[in-house]
Amino acid sequence: MLSSKDSLKILKETRALLEGHFILSSGLHSEKYIQCAKLLSRPDKANEICHSLAKKITDSFKKIDLILSPAIGGIVIGYEIGKILNIETIFAERVNEKFILRRGFTIEKKQKILIVEDVITTGKSSLECSSLAKKFDGDIIGFACIIDRSNGKSSITKKIVSQIQIDIPTYKKENIPKHLQSITPIKPGSRNL
């Protein structure tokens, strides 16, 4: 299993951990941004991270019937974890701002579901997937992600298994530190288009 230090090194090598001035999808500002797509574009490096995360998942959850991931960020990681663990994997898509199942995907009553994401910050996408699964009477057993940067501030109450836990401070517009004020902010992320 990879250590957090080795995993963080991989994030930096793949330029998945960026530094600068970013406006996050929440509207908060940060001096670091995690773009897991950069990691996942490198199959060799993503493979190391995914195998390590899969081991942590099997250590934490004894029975998983289905993996559900939010599109678009969670699709690749969900698929990779599903492939490693040989578990059916589906994803939810946003239509009119709400997650739905399309493409013939279904959730059966009482299926034990693991929500798999790339990054959990506020937990918004993960919780929306959880709500969707509950509409089908699915049993959410927990959450897994490459990076947990929620620092205990998300509304997720079930267990989160992550490869890396990282605390990246965020700031409201009116409280941006002086060193960030001189850097032009950029808006990365899937909800900032």
Residue 35 φ then ψ, to 5°: -115, 85
Q: Are 73 and 36 in contact (CB under 8 A)?
A: yes
* pLDDT the model gives residue 131: 93
Identify the architecture of domain 4-192 in CATH.
3-Layer(aba) Sandwich (3.40)
Average pLDDT over residues 148-175: 89
Number of C-alpha atoms within 13 angstroms, CB side, residue 140? 23
- For all residues of the chain together, what is the average pLDDT? 91
pLDDT digits (tens, 9 = 90+) for 42-55: 999 999 999 999 99
Q: Are 56 and 1 in contact (CB under 8 A)?
A: yes
Q: Are 10 and 48 in contact (CB under 8 A)?
A: yes
pLDDT digits (tens, 9 = 90+) for 71-81: 888 999 999 99
In this structure, what token pair is assigned to residue 118?
């790339």
Give, as one character, the DSSP assignment of residue 19.
Answer: E
Whether the per-residue pLDDT at 193 is higher than 50: the answer is no
Whether the per-residue pLDDT at 5 is higher than 80: the answer is yes
Q: Where are the alpha helices (DSSP H) in 113-166?
A: 124-135
In this structure, what token pair is assigned to residue 79?
């698929």
For the chain, what are the domain ranges?
Answer: 4-192
pLDDT digits (tens, 9 = 90+) for 80-133: 999 999 999 999 999 998 998 999 999 999 999 999 999 988 888 999 999 999
CA 169 to each of CA 11, 57, 116: distance values in angstroms, whole numbers, following the listed order: 18, 27, 23
**Tokens 């947990």 correspond to what residue?**
148
SS3 83: helix
